[in-house]
């Protein structure tokens, strides 16, 4: 992941319509995937003070230990960017060595709570997990926060149901309440972990990208069987 503050002219060019690449994605036939977004814009009138985030992700064996330094990460991203065209390439070419750019490495990992061997002992309902602690997932589908919020709501509803005013938590109800939460969470979020992993793999496979609905059909509004728009 790279973070860069560009010059005024560069920042304006990257977000200049109609060809802005801001918050756009760029898959590459070689199996790479480029993204440019805006991380921080403290003053809307000072684009030269904005911090952009951008990266080119690439397939790598799960067991591989990446030991590149920050400088080497930046150089590697710049090298990958030479395979791209236009403003995508420029976003990386314009990374500077004067402190206005930084880079760090993060392998995309996930953990399926429904997988064999991934069960845990909730100690009679006294301990449980939620959010990224329970189901970290790759982020291209953008569903991690949604499921974390759903976890929180489900836990809150369960606690309220087992809580008696003036008495507190009904200990005898706690194991069942937490068990119901975990069963629902594992089933729901486990499926999303698997879907997100599949989506991440697809985005780095050019044939799958070209056969995807968004490429073949675009972003047109779909229709139901009765002809109504959805």
What pLDDT is attached to residue 136? 97
Number of helices and strands in the chain (H, E): 7, 7
Extract the runs of DSSP E, i.e. beta strands, from 24-75. 24-28, 32-40, 51-57
What pLDDT is attached to residue 161? 87
C-alpha to C-alpha distance for 3 and 96, rounded to whole angstroms: 10
Residue indicated by tokens 């992700």: 57
Q: What is the pTM of this model?
A: 0.83
C-alpha to C-alpha distance for 208 and 217, rounded to whole angstroms: 14
C-beta separation of 187 from 114 below 8 A: yes
DSSP H helices, 50-173, are 70-81, 86-93, 144-162
Residue by residue, pLDDT tens for the chain (230 residues) are: 999 999 999 999 999 888 889 999 999 999 999 999 999 999 999 999 999 999 999 999 989 999 999 999 999 999 999 999 999 999 999 999 888 899 999 899 999 999 999 999 999 999 999 999 999 999 988 899 999 999 999 999 999 988 876 777 778 889 999 999 999 999 999 999 999 999 999 999 999 999 998 888 887 766 667 767 65
What pLDDT is attached to residue 162? 85
Which residues, in sequence order, are bridge partners of residue 163? 169
Residue extents of the structural domains in the chain: 2-103, 131-209
């Amino acid at each position: 992941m790279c973070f860069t503050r560009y010059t005024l002219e560069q920042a304006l060019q990257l977000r200049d319509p109609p060809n802005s690449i801001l918050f756009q994605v760029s898959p590459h036939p070689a199996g790479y995937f480029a993204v440019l977004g805006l991380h921080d814009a403290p003053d809307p009138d000072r684009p030269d003070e904005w911090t952009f985030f951008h990266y080119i992700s690439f397939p790598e064996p799960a067991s591989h230990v990446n030991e590149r330094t920050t400088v080497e990460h930046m150089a590697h991203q710049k090298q990958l960017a030479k395979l791209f065209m236009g403003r995508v390439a420029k976003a990386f070419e314009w990374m500077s060595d004067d402190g206005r750019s930084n880079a760090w490495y993060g392998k995309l990992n996930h953990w399926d709570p429904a997988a064999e061997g991934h069960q845990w002992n909730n100690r009679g309902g006294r301990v449980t997990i939620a959010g990224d602690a329970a189901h970290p997932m790759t982020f291209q589908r953008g569903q991690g926060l949604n499921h974390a919020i759903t976890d929180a709501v489900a836990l809150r509803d369960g606690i309220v149901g087992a809580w008696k005013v003036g008495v507190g938590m009904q200990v005898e109800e706690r194991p069942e309440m937490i068990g119901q939460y975990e069963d629902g969470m594992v089933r729901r979020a486990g499926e999303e972990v698997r879907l997100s992993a599949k989506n991440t793999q697809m985005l780095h496979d050019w044939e799958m990208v070209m056969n995807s609905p968004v490429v073949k059909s675009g972003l047109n509004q779909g229709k139901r069987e009765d002809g109504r728009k959805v």
